[in-house]
């Protein structure tokens, strides 16, 4: 269960990075040679994951929280996302699969990646029940490591499209603590953290469409 949720959350993170922090500029398109789109981004973000097994020995709860900060048109823009999953390992049944985001969080992050804090009301929709509800998020991150550097280069090509991307990031491992509340229910009780990071990332992606 945990492996599935981690993959899901990391995929959400990648989508959020592309959707939020990258400013797009489109060079001149040439009808004969196709079209080239350049996407550049530079932003700060945090992420954390929580996982615990309920007292019944069956119900596993997984929570993922992230937040992003970037400069857009000389203004600081922030977003935050939440994922909450509940799974019955005894019956192999999904109880809750809720996710959502907000573009109006109170998010502060140190440029040296030493600490960060997030306060937000985030509406989430549960795909199992179809219900939408709001969770109150209050969380802090504190660095526990030196900066680690990561570089990733990817190349993808198929008929009609070529994508080249490169990203580099400065990452600090961290401890995250706080609450994700729905009424009196806290989905992130003490001692359930399994990972947390504070990150500064730059990325460039070139997409070429062929006629």
pLDDT in tens, 121-138: 999 999 999 999 999 999
- Model confidence at 34, in pLDDT bands (50, 70, 90)? low
- Residue 211 confidence (pLDDT): 67
Q: Is the pLDDT at 26 greater than 70, yes or no?
A: no
Which residue from 63, 46, 66, 139 is spatially nearest to 98, judged by alpha carbons? 63
Q: Cα dist. 194→41, 51, 62, 103 in Å?
A: 28, 7, 10, 26
71-110 residue pLDDT tens = 766 778 899 999 999 999 999 999 999 999 999 999 999 9
Instruction: Give the chain's mean pLDDT.
Output: 83
Look at the chain and report how many structural domains it folds into: 1
Spatial distance between the Cα atoms of 78 and 43, rounded to a whole number of angstroms: 10
Spatial distance between the Cα atoms of 125 and 192, rounded to a whole number of angstroms: 23
- Residue 75 confidence (pLDDT): 79
Q: Is residue 107 within 8 Å of residue 98, measured between CB atoms?
A: no
39-80 residue pLDDT tens = 776 789 999 999 999 999 999 999 999 999 987 667 788 999
- Model confidence at 27, in pLDDT bands (50, 70, 90)? very low
CA 81 to chain centre: 6
- Residue 72 confidence (pLDDT): 66
Spatial distance between the Cα atoms of 204 and 38, rounded to a whole number of angstroms: 7
- Model confidence at 203, in pLDDT bands (50, 70, 90)? confident
Which residue from 112, 82, 108 is spatially nearest to 172, judged by alpha carbons? 112
Instruction: Give mean pLDDT, residues 15-42.
Output: 49
Angle at 119 between CA 100 and CA 180, to 5 degrees: 60
Q: Is the pLDDT at 117 greater than 70, yes or no?
A: yes
Supply the range of the domain harboring residue 54.
2-209
- Model confidence at 18, in pLDDT bands (50, 70, 90)? very low
């Amino acid at each position: 269960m945990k492996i599935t949720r981690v993959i899901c959350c990391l995929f959400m993170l990648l989508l959020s990075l592309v959707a939020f922090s990258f400013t797009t500029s489109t060079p001149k398109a040439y009808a004969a040679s196709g079209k080239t789109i350049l996407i550049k981004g530079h932003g700060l973000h945090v992420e954390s994951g929580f996982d615990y097994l309920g007292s019944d020995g069956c119900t596993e709860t997984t929570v993922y929280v992230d937040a992003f900060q970037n400069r857009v048109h000389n203004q600081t823009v922030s977003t935050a996302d939440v994922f909450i999953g509940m799974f019955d390992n005894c019956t192999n049944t999904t109880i809750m699969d809720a996710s959502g985001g907000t573009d109006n969080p109170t998010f502060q992050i140190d440029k040296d990646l030493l600490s960060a804090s997030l306060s937000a009301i985030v509406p989430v929709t549960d795909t199992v029940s179809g219900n939408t509800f709001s969770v109150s998020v209050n969380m802090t991150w504190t660095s526990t490591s030196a900066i680690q550097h990561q570089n990733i280069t990817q190349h993808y090509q198929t008929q009609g499209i070529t994508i080249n991307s490169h990203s580099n990031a400065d990452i600090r491992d961290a401890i995250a603590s706080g609450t994700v509340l729905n009424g009196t229910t806290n989905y992130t009780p003490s001692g359930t953290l399994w990972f947390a990071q504070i990150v500064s990332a730059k990325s460039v992606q070139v997409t070429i469409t062929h006629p």
